[in-house]
Structures are given as C-alpha cells and as structure tokens.
Chain A
Amino acid sequence: MPRSSHATFEPAADRPDPVAILEEQATTRVPQLVPIRYGRMAVSTFTFLRGAAAVMAADLAGTPTSGLRVEACGDCHLSNFGIFATPERNLVFDLNDFDETLPAPFEWDVKRLAASLVVAGRSAGFSKKQCATTARSCVEWYRAKMLNYAPMGYLDIWYSRLDIGAITNSLQLSREQAKRVDKTVQKAQTRTSLGSLAKFAERTNGSFRIKDAPPLIQHLDLPDLDEVIASAFVQMKESIADDRKQLLARYDFVDIALKVVGVGSVGTRAFMVLMIGKGDEDPLFLQFKEAQPSVLKPYAGASQYSHHGERVVCGQRLSQAASDIFLGWVNGPKDPNIHYYFRQLRDMKGSFETEGMTADGLTVYAQVCGAALARAHARSGEAATIAGYLGSRDTFDRAIVAFAEAYADQTERDHATLVEAIRSGRIEAQEGI
C-alpha cells in the first residue's frame, strides 16, 4: 500500500446519509436528550465533526490501509486530547476519550486527527496553506516520534509519557502561547473533587446534595434508588484491584444525578456520583458513563471484551501513559444489557481551548497531539513496523494532509445537511445548551 495512496478520499457511491447514521444512534439513547446532541453538533463544522465519529468511521472504512493495527482511540479528534493528573500526580498531556476504542488500523486515528485540525483551522479563518501546515506538522511529529519509539525496549515505551512541563520546555513557545499553557494548567489544577463540591453541590440540613441544573444535571426519579446504588457498588468492586477497592470503601455514597457531557455521546446515560470520605471536606466525584459498541466495530471487528465498559477501560489503560486510579466498569443495575464505565469526574482534567489560537499556536498544539498519538499507538502496536512503513521522508505526511482537506470538505457538506435537517423539521434540535 503506497504511502501516497492515503491521500484519497472519495465518498462511497452508496454512502449512507450522515443524518440517518445519527438517527440510528439516537434509537438507543435517552429520547429527551437527543435534541441537545443535535443542537451541540449544529453549532459549527467542527462541533459536527466532534459528534460524527460514527459518520467518519464509515468513511474511513473505505480508505486504504497498510494493515498495521494498534489499539486505536477511534475518535481521535483534537479536542479528545488534554491534560490530567496521573496516579503519581504528574500532569501529562494525552488522549482522554476512549468511548470508541478498538484494535484498528493506525491510519484511522491519524486521519481523524488531521481532518479535525483542518476543520478547526478553517473554522478559525486560517488560510488553506496554514491549515495544511498544521495538519502536516501533526503527522510529521507522529512519524518522527514513531521513529524514536522503534528501537526502544517495550518497557521504556511503556514508561514514557508527555509531561506537560517537559513539553512546554522543549517547545519554543511565544509569550502568548506560554501564557495559554499556564492558564490551562492552572485551571486544570483547580478542577478537583473539592472544587467540584462548591460548584455542583449544596448543603441542605447538614448533608450534601447535588444541585439540579436541568436539563444538564437532574436527579433521577427512581423509587428503588438505594438498591440500584447498592448493586452498582458491589459490581464496582469487582472491576478494580484490591488496593483500590479498599480505598473506595473509605468513601460513603451521598448522591447521584444525571449529567449531560460531551457532544457525540450526549443522550447516552451519564451520571455523576458524590461520595464523602473523611469528615465532610473530603469529597470524591465519580462519573458513570454508558458505553455502547465502538463506532469502529462494523469495520474493525468485535472487541475481545463482551462488556463495552471493560473495552473502554482496557483500551484507555493500554493507550494512556498512566490512568485514573478509579477506572472500572459495571452493568446497569436495572438493565444488565446497559454497560457503564466509571472514572473520577474531575481529577485535574483540562483541555486546551483551540478557539482563539493563532495559526502558529494551533500548529504547535497539533504537533503535540501527533506526538501523544504516536506514544499511545507505540504501547500496543509494533513501533518499528509502523516506523518502517512511514519512513524518514514526508510522503505519508503529505498524503494525510490531502486526505484531511478532502474530508474537511465532506464535513462541511455533512454539517450543512444537519443544519438543513433541523431547519426542515426532520430532526428536533435544542440549541444553546
């Protein structure tokens, strides 16, 4: 498979209507929340792309690949990278969304990342040349990093990570860019469970309760909530290691509410849970998120894990340099066919606002994303083989840029289709939330 072959993107003759794909996904979601999803996707070409992992997966399936597979993210657009604190409290930059993870061709992640960069660049009003430079730099860094990983021992790759401090020191950032990084890091460091307590909870009659903020945060109306919670907790302990089990047991359940998050996953079941440890200034917020089959599944094959929550957690642990200590999975206590994974809601998680970045700034960000993706792929894939395929020249990089441009055009057409579907009343959207 020549590297230049990756340049092509031609919509398949029998390409399904993109809105039909979204409607199909909506059939398994909470009906009242589906309009919020459409509303969030309608905002721009870029928000459409964020929500359209399933649409793009179908398109990628028709593109050429070398056949080299890795544990792929499956939804590798630029906003699914970010910073978070590791178990040893290092602040790292890494992929942070694994809802669609599955073993798949490495090119799919690279292509979705590059396409998202061109779409974001266009949204920001950058020139064609600027957008191409951004996407090419990203792929160039992916390739260069993969060449670095190729000769490294497996454990050295396993232990490697992108520390936010080390990255910013290694890049020659402008004063403006350095300020943006500092601001993002500082903001992430305040995003802790303790900070969330003030934001999301209130104290009534001496005990804490999550504040309702409909339609985004709402309590459930379940008569048997206590049993549901108890059953979930029994299951939680089964999917985490014994030491974490002991740690979790030190916290008491306080409250649970539905909490809408993201773009593409809006409408899947997602909850926030408040727990309290020592005294009452020691809160722990967990997020429970429904996991459905990966959007890659029809094209990459079924997961080895029959539980989709387990698929997400294992893919995340395999891809990330270090992961949240409270990652685990459970079945729905009322409907065991609904799968969930859980994690900490806020553990110094932060993301870079790409809106408002200069073209140079976006290029630097793109490079770091490329490096982070190479690191993630090198943990599960054979770095030397991928590096051998990519080579030391930029043939692959340029091909992916051409693809990204063509796919950005496709995304613009698809976004227009969604806007038209909303306008015509084919689907109902709730905008602005």
Chain B
Amino acid sequence: MATETKHFPTIDEQYETGRALRDDTPRTSHAEYEAQAARTDPIAILEEQAKTRVPALVPIRYGRMAPSPFTFLRGAAAIMAADLAGTPTSGIRVEACGDAHLSNFGFFATPERNLIFDLNDFDETLPAPFEWDVKRLAASIFVASRANGHGKKESRTAARGSVEFYRTHMLRYAPMGHLDTWYSRLDVAMADELVVLTPKARKNLDEAIQKARRRTSVQAMTKFTEKVNGVYHIKDDPPLIQHVDFDDLHALVDSALAQMTESLGSLRHRLLARYRFRDIALKVVGVGSVGTRAYMVLMTGKNDRDPLFLQLKQAEASVVEPYAGQSEYPNHGQRVVCGQRVMQAASDVFLGWFVSPVDETRHFYFRQLRDMKGGIVIDGLSPKRFRLYSEACGAALARAHARSGVAATIAGYLGKGDDFDRAIAEFAEAYAGQTERDHAALVEAIRSGRVDALEGV
C-alpha cells in the first residue's frame, strides 16, 4: 500500500502559478501586433494550400474569400496561424480550436437533444496556447463588426466584450471540479442566464432556434434528393453538389462504412448498421476548406422516410501544426474528432474517422450533415446585439478551453482586472488592419489574373 502523503496542487496554488506567468509575459504585451519582417505573402500561403486540393474547386475558395475582409479572414486560418506564432504567449496550452472565428460557433442538438451553443468546427484543432483562439475570435469580431458598418469604438467594445466574458467564465470554472466543468454546457434555451437579451435579440434568437430545429435529415431529404424510378438520389447542383468519379470513390464508400464502424465504437456501429447506403455526392462547404474533399452520403433506415445524411470531410494537417507541434494522432480525421469531443460539451453520435482506401495519406472524418445545426446570422446585427453575440462566443470558448486546460491557472494569469481584455481588443484592431491589407492583396491577385476565382457560388 502506498502510504506516502500525496500532494495535489490546490486551486489557489494553480491560480498563483498562472499569476506568476505575468512576470515573463505581461498581460499588456498581448496588445502588440507587428507584421513580421519576413512575413510570407498571404496569397502564397493560400496557393500552397491549393496544391493538395481538388483543382476545379480552388477558384470557388478564392471567390468565397474575396467578398469582404471578413470572408477573407474566415478562409485565412493558415495565414493568421503564421502571424499568431510570432505573438507573445503565457505558455499555457489547451486543446485549441485553431480557427475560433465567430462564425465557427453555432447551435446544434446534443445526443440528449438539448440545443446548445458551442464551437462547431475543429478542422484545425491542436494543443496550442490559449491566447491564439482568443485572439482569432477577437480579431474576427472586430472585422465582422466593421463589415456590418459599425464604428471602430463599437467594434472594439464587441471584441473586448468577448474577452471579458472569456475571462470571467474562466474565473468561474477555476474552482469547479473536473467533472462539473466537463458536464457544463451553454443551453440555447438558457441564453438569458448568459447575456442580457434585448427584445429584438430575443426575437432573433427564437427565430434562429426554430430554424435550427427544422434542419434535420428529414428536411434535408426534401432539399437534397429526388426520387427517380422509385429510388432516392442526391440531386446534382453543380458546382456545389455533384456526383463525381474520383479514383477512390467507390472503394471509399465501401471502406468508409467498414472503417467507420471501428472508430464509432461497437455501440454506435450497431446503430449505423441499421442504415443502408443509398448515394454519395461531392458537396462544397465552408470557405477556408473549399477544395478539400467533402462528400454528402444518403442512407436510409427503417424505410425511405427514415433518412440519415452523413458528411465525410477530408482532414489535412492543422494549420497550427508548424507552430504548435505535431498532433499525437497519426490520422488527421482522428485529430479532429478527438479534439472536437474534448472541447464540445456534447458531440454528434456519429462522429468518426477513416483513411482513404486508395491513398493512406488522405484522412477523413465524418459526422451528421444536419442535426439541428444553426446559429445567429451576424449580418445586419445592431452593434448592441452583435456585442451580446460576441460575449456568448467568449463564454463558449472559455468552457471549451476549461475542459482540457487548467482553468485556475488560466484564470490566475488573466486576473480580475481588464488588462488582458483591453490588450486583446487592441490586438484585434491591429490585426483587422492586417486583414484588410491581405484582403486587398487577394482582390488584386484575382484582378491581375494571378489566381483564378469563381465568384458568387
């Protein structure tokens, strides 16, 4: 019997550890953003990413990034990762999202059918400094706010509000037991406990909730399929949805279904085994990831009125990897799935990964295409409502980080004053300037014919 007295660091000690980190990296130091002297041409970074993508789809990516600095920022996770790598950090690491801009938060239904607000994109997840997510969120808020026509002061307030909520929520998680943190979540129905909703915000939210609740596989059946000779098929809608004849597709479907069952665990595999494969088509999604291979799969269960749509999405190395180190997972699909499960309060029952049967360097993850996924449309939000939304994102990010990080240490570093909030808001403003310049560079590259863009799709 081990009889020596074990010492578990107390919450106060963890908090002190965090506080002490301010000596090396003062909170105010996060305000800085200076483009590195040797900063890589942002368009070159995008062109480098294009090399591993489906060539025919790459112009859609540029076309989707070109409309505004905000759409550019959404697609430019790789560019920002390189920029963040040069900024100061406290050294506290968490399982980071890697692409925590405000449109990567949203609603979805949990396995127990609660509608929650949480991060919902983990393509770039990796253990990394917590500040990187906070900075990308704040910068995206500043940029989106400006795109909405809000003034600089309003944009700063929104960015600072997200950081303030991140910090105060981290302070709340600091003393909580690990399991209590694990079980905590942001229920959409409880939004008023999180932020002070104005009547207009309440109305927005209710509409978004209703819309999310309607986004199910049954609804997708009407939208995405047609019956031909008594059999349901996915409707082509080129270039966004099309039946394709990639080298690996047939083998992919067979082997995906076989491998999927392995990564799902025997239990969910028993559930998936009740569904029959019907059809698969390429489906373009997102902004930054356009051009990676993404498919939608139609399956049916008990009968044709019991559809299940899965999304199979290619996962490449995280854009954060060159700066944060390699993932412990050899399969990028597994990296995404495990990161997602660690960060989200609850995750899709059909989350899993597999490897392409014809090219073992090509990794995929899968999930349900539509399971009451939705969110607040930020276009056209008033400054006040935009700030509320920003605050909710900050709270959701703190919850996600508290699951893998040591909340008390992060809270100790952040402290009760608003130094950190103001520093990040300043960073956000500076980085918004960088994003505007980068966006202009993309527009110019399209105009000059350096890159080929397909706009409006």
**CB within 8 Å of B: which residues of A?**
86-90, 151-155, 158-159, 161, 193-194, 205-207, 219, 225-226, 241-243, 246-247, 250-252, 254, 276-282, 284, 314, 317-318, 322, 325, 380, 384
Contact B110 A250 (CB under 8 A): no
Given known contacts A243-B338, A322-B111, A277 and B266 CB-to-CB distance under 8 angstroms: no
Residues of the A chain whose Cβ atoms lie less than 8 Å from the Cβ of B275: 154
Select the stretch in B130-138, B154-162, B176-184 that faces chain A.
Answer: B176-184
Contact A246 B302 (CB under 8 A): no
Residues of the A chain whose Cβ atoms lie less than 8 Å from the Cβ of B2: 225-226
Return the contact of B338 from the options A89, A242, A284, A322 (Cβ within 8 A).
A242
**Alpha-carbon distance between A225 and B1 when the two chains are bound, in angstroms:** 6
B229 in the interface (beta carbon within 8 A): no
Residues of the A chain whose Cβ atoms lie less than 8 Å from the Cβ of B308: 155
B270 in the interface (beta carbon within 8 A): yes
B185 in the interface (beta carbon within 8 A): yes
Contact A278 B11 (CB under 8 A): yes
Segment 73-113 of B: residues with Cβ below 8 Å from A: 95, 110-113
Return the contact of B267 from the options A194, A206, A243, A318 (Cβ within 8 A).
A318
Select the stretch in B204-212, B251-259, B341-349, B418-426 that faces chain A.
Answer: B341-349
Residues of the A chain whose Cβ atoms lie less than 8 Å from the Cβ of B111: 87-88, 159, 322
Given known contacts A279-B11, A282-B178, A155 and B301 CB-to-CB distance under 8 angstroms: yes
Per-residue contact bits, chain B 251-277, to A (CB 8 Å; 1 contact, 0 not): 000000000000001110011001100
Contact B112 A86 (CB under 8 A): yes
Given known contacts A153-B305, A206-B5, A246 and B342 CB-to-CB distance under 8 angstroms: yes
**Alpha-carbon distance between A282 and B182 when the two chains are bound, in angstroms:** 13
Return the contact of B113 from the options A87, A152, A159 (Cβ within 8 A).
A159
Residues of the A chain whose Cβ atoms lie less than 8 Å from the Cβ of B265: 241
Residues of the B chain whose Cβ atoms lie less than 8 Å from the Cβ of A152: 302
B392 CB → nearest A CB, Å: 19
Return the contact of B183 from the options A89, A207, A225 (Cβ within 8 A).
A89
Per-residue contact bits, chain B 110-121, to A (CB 8 Å; 1 contact, 0 not): 111110000000
Given known contacts A242-B338, A318-B267, A322-B112, A277 and B183 CB-to-CB distance under 8 angstroms: no
Residue of A nearest to B183 (CB): A89
Given known contacts A90-B112, A279-B11, A154 and B274 CB-to-CB distance under 8 angstroms: yes
Per-residue contact bits, chain B 298-326, to A (CB 8 Å; 1 contact, 0 not): 00011001101000000000000000000
Contact A252 B112 (CB under 8 A): no
B448 in the interface (beta carbon within 8 A): no
A-B contact count (CB 8 A): 103
Residue of B nearest to A284 (CB): B179
**Alpha-carbon distance between A251 and B177 when the two chains are bound, in angstroms:** 10
Residue of A nearest to B346 (CB): A88
Known: A246-B404, A251-B178, A278-B8. 10 other contacts (CB 8 A): A90-B112, A153-B305, A154-B274, A154-B301, A155-B217, A206-B5, A252-B6, A277-B178, A278-B178, A279-B9
Residues of the A chain whose Cβ atoms lie less than 8 Å from the Cβ of B179: 193, 247, 277, 282, 284
What is the predominant secondary structure among interface residues of chain B facing chain A? loop
**Alpha-carbon distance between A89 and B179 when the two chains are bound, in angstroms:** 11
20 cross-chain CB contacts under 8 A: A87-B112, A153-B302, A154-B275, A155-B301, A193-B179, A219-B1, A225-B2, A246-B342, A246-B404, A247-B403, A251-B178, A252-B6, A252-B8, A277-B179, A279-B8, A279-B9, A282-B179, A284-B178, A318-B270, A322-B111
**Alpha-carbon distance between A384 and B306 when the two chains are bound, in angstroms:** 14
Q: Which of B113, B176, B217 is most buried by chain A, counting CB atoms within 10 A of its CB?
A: B113
Per-residue contact bits, chain B 161-178, to A (CB 8 Å; 1 contact, 0 not): 000000000000001111
B222 in the interface (beta carbon within 8 A): no
A277 CB → nearest B CB, Å: 4
Residues of the B chain whose Cβ atoms lie less than 8 Å from the Cβ of A252: 6, 8
B10 in the interface (beta carbon within 8 A): yes
Q: Which of A153, A219, A384 is most buried by chain B, counting CB atoms within 10 A of its CB?
A: A153
**Alpha-carbon distance between A205 and B2 when the two chains are bound, in angstroms:** 13
**Alpha-carbon distance between A255 and B1 when the two chains are bound, in angstroms:** 9
Residue of A nearest to B274 (CB): A154
Residue of B nearest to A155 (CB): B308
Return the contact of A153 from the options B182, B301, B341 (Cβ within 8 A).
B301
Contact A88 B112 (CB under 8 A): yes
A313 CB → nearest B CB, Å: 9
B144 in the interface (beta carbon within 8 A): no
B408 in the interface (beta carbon within 8 A): yes
Residues of the B chain whose Cβ atoms lie less than 8 Å from the Cβ of A154: 271, 274-275, 301-302, 306
A426 CB → nearest B CB, Å: 38
Contact B114 A88 (CB under 8 A): yes
Contact A384 B8 (CB under 8 A): no
Contact B301 A254 (CB under 8 A): no
**Alpha-carbon distance between A241 and B408 when the two chains are bound, in angstroms:** 25
Contact B302 A314 (CB under 8 A): no
**Alpha-carbon distance between A214 and B42 when the two chains are bound, in angstroms:** 70
Residue of B nearest to A323 (CB): B267
Per-residue contact bits, chain B 407-428, to A (CB 8 Å; 1 contact, 0 not): 0100000000000000000000
Residue of B nearest to A152 (CB): B302
Return the contact of B177 from the options A241, A254, A282 (Cβ within 8 A).
A282
Residues of the B chain whose Cβ atoms lie less than 8 Å from the Cβ of A322: 111-112
Contact B112 A281 (CB under 8 A): no
Residue of B nearest to A85 (CB): B183
Residues of the B chain whose Cβ atoms lie less than 8 Å from the Cβ of A278: 8, 11, 14, 175-178, 408
Q: Which of A90, A243, A278 is most buried by chain B, counting CB atoms within 10 A of its CB?
A: A278
Q: Which of B9, B178, B179 is most buried by chain A, counting CB atoms within 10 A of its CB?
A: B179
B278 CB → nearest A CB, Å: 15
A219 CB → nearest B CB, Å: 7
Given known contacts A207-B6, A250-B178, A281-B177, A242 and B341 CB-to-CB distance under 8 angstroms: yes
Residue of A nearest to B13 (CB): A279
Residue of A nearest to B341 (CB): A243
Contact A254 B6 (CB under 8 A): yes
- 7 closest A-B pairs by beta carbon, nearest first, are A243-B341, A153-B306, A282-B177, A88-B112, A242-B338, A317-B267, A154-B301
Residue of B nearest to A205 (CB): B5
Residue of A nearest to B350 (CB): A155
Residues of the B chain whose Cβ atoms lie less than 8 Å from the Cβ of A205: 5
**Alpha-carbon distance between A154 and B338 when the two chains are bound, in angstroms:** 26
**Alpha-carbon distance between A278 and B179 when the two chains are bound, in angstroms:** 10
Residue of A nearest to B272 (CB): A154
**Alpha-carbon distance between A207 and B265 when the two chains are bound, in angstroms:** 38
Residue of A nearest to B408 (CB): A278
Residues of the A chain whose Cβ atoms lie less than 8 Å from the Cβ of B217: 155
Residues of the A chain whose Cβ atoms lie less than 8 Å from the Cβ of B185: 88
Per-residue contact bits, chain B 6-32, to A (CB 8 Å; 1 contact, 0 not): 101111001000000000000000000
Residues of the B chain whose Cβ atoms lie less than 8 Å from the Cβ of A226: 2
Residues of the A chain whose Cβ atoms lie less than 8 Å from the Cβ of B349: 158
Residues of the B chain whose Cβ atoms lie less than 8 Å from the Cβ of A87: 111-112, 183, 346
Residue of B nearest to A229 (CB): B2
B221 CB → nearest A CB, Å: 11
**Alpha-carbon distance between A322 and B6 when the two chains are bound, in angstroms:** 35
Q: Which of B177, B341, B342 is most buried by chain A, counting CB atoms within 10 A of its CB?
A: B177
